[in-house]
Amino acid sequence: MLKNMGNADRIIRIIAAAVFFYLYFTGTVSGVIGIILLVLGIVFIVTSLIGNCPLYRIFGMNTAPGKK
């Protein structure tokens, strides 16, 4: 799988995921919205670790350095 995410994009996603996890696990956000944020945080972490975002591929985006 080719990487289509740059380092800045990956760092922003990890920070956003950390905020989502904090909000959920401290009870600030709960219920359906809390679960949605938790799932979104997990997706952000996974896509950051593999460096590939399926939505970027669908929309033809690429923030990875190098050949575009």
**Residue spans per domain, the chain:** 7-59
2-44 pLDDT tens trace: 889 999 999 999 999 999 999 999 999 999 999 999 999 999 9
Q: What is the pTM of this model?
A: 0.85
- Reduce the secondary structure of the chain to three states and give it as a string: CCCCCCHHHHHHHHHHHHHHHHHHHCCCCCHHHHHHHHHHHHHHHHHHHHCCCHHHHHHCCCCCCCCC
